[in-house]
Amino acid sequence: MGVQLLCWASKMVVKTSIRLDEDVLRMFQSSVIEEFGKLKGAQNEAFREAVLLWLAYKRGEPVVVLADDRSGRLMIVRASEVGGRLEALLSKRNPSLSIKPAGSLPYFHAGVISDVIKALVGKFGVPEEAEFRDLDRNVVVEKISGAPDSWEESLKAVQDGYGGRVELHLSWSKPRLRASIRPNYISIKKVMFPAF
């Protein structure tokens, strides 16, 4: 059975035909409707995400899973698209996002953390608090100085030299927002209540 789907290639859209077993197509379309609430147009995005995941696992392509924790929507995007996608999601009233690497590598490809920091600083300015924290003991290892574009490399250096699990912790008072950045996981949350 031939199926017409759109496949995104860079900025150019190309049309392709694929053949799927009927039961696989039904499962795919059912899942698309479940995820997006519709089939028309959403099939294209779902197919694109499926191809990106396949490439991440088979060829190690830099792909991430971007989760909007409030809506429950998972987006599979190229690592190079993270900054642009974040800009839109950070404009929401109470952003709550998590980002994980997709594929066989247990950590982000180079540049992903810098793109996230760049999007955060571009939207909210330099954070009032920027420090490396020990995840096991919840203590500050080192306060951060220097330009935000060097923080990804600093995180790697601290992680390598420290011996424990470390995260880059950023916080802003307006809006009350916190970001926890690790080599394998990023969390960005609006803080609703002040800490006691």
pLDDT the model gives residue 160:
82
CA separation, residue 59 to residues 51, 103, 104, 142 (Å): 11, 9, 9, 37
Using a pLDDT cut of 70, give the percent of the chain over it: 92
C-alpha dihedral sign at 159, 161, 164, 167: negative
CB 52 within 8 A of CB 37: no
The total number of residues shown for the chain amounts to 196
- DSSP state letter for 81: G
Q: What is the pLDDT of residue 64?
A: 95
> What share of the chain has pLDDT > 90, as a percent?
48
